[in-house]
Amino acid sequence: MFDLFKRAPKPKLLWQFSSPTHYVWRVMFLDNGLLIGEHRAAKERKVSFFLLDDASGKPLWMNFVLTDSASQKPIGEGWWVGIETVHRDLFYLHGYYSPSTPEHLGIWAFDAKTKTHKWERQDVGFLCMVGDEMLVYRNILVEGFMERAFLVLDPMTGKEIRKFSADGLLANQMRVSAPNFEQEQGVTLPDKVLPSSNRFAELQAKTKHLFPSAKLVDGLDVITTNEKFIIGFHEQTSNMVKTQSGQPLPALDYTMRVFSNGGDLLFEDKLGKTMSGLLADGFFVRGNKLYYVKERETLCAAAL
What DSSP state is assigned to residue 116?
-
Residue 39 lies in a domain: yes
Q: Same structural domain for residues 182 and 194?
A: no
Q: What is the reported pLDDT for 8?
A: 66
Q: What is the reported pLDDT for 147?
A: 83
Sign of CA dihedral 87, 88, 90, 91: positive
SS3 294: strand
The CATH number given to whatever domain includes residue 86 is 2.40.128.630
Q: Same structural domain for residues 57 and 126?
A: yes
Q: Which helix (H) or strand (E) holds 140?
A: strand 133-142
What DSSP state is assigned to residue 168?
H
Of 167, 186, 205, at which residue does a domain stop?
Answer: 186
Of 186, 214, 243, at which residue does a domain stop?
Answer: 186
Q: Count Cβ atoms within 10 A of the Cβ of residue 157 and give its class: 0-12 exposed, 13-18 middle, 19 or more buried.
A: exposed
Q: Same structural domain for residues 59 and 88?
A: yes
Are residues 186 and 286 in contact, defined by beta-carbon separation less than 8 angstroms? yes
Domain range for 36: 8-186
Of 186, 201, 221, at which residue does a domain stop?
Answer: 186
Are residues 289 and 271 in contact, defined by beta-carbon separation less than 8 angstroms? no
- Residue 214 CA, distance from chain mean position: 30
Q: What is the reported pLDDT for 7?
A: 64
Q: What is the reported pLDDT for 1?
A: 39
Distance CA 297, CA 278 (A): 16
Q: Same structural domain for residues 171 and 46?
A: yes
Determine how many CB atoms are found less than 10 A away from the CB of residue 82: 18
Q: Same structural domain for residues 25 and 126?
A: yes
Q: Same structural domain for residues 148 and 201?
A: no
**Which ranges of the chain have pLDDT less than 50?**
1-5
Are residues 211 and 202 in contact, defined by beta-carbon separation less than 8 angstroms? no
Question: Strand 59-64's sheet: what is its strand order?
Answer: 23-29, 34-41, 46-53, 59-64
SS3 22: coil
Q: What is the reported pLDDT for 3?
A: 45
Distance CA 40, CA 213 (A): 34
Are residues 267 and 258 in contact, defined by beta-carbon separation less than 8 angstroms? yes
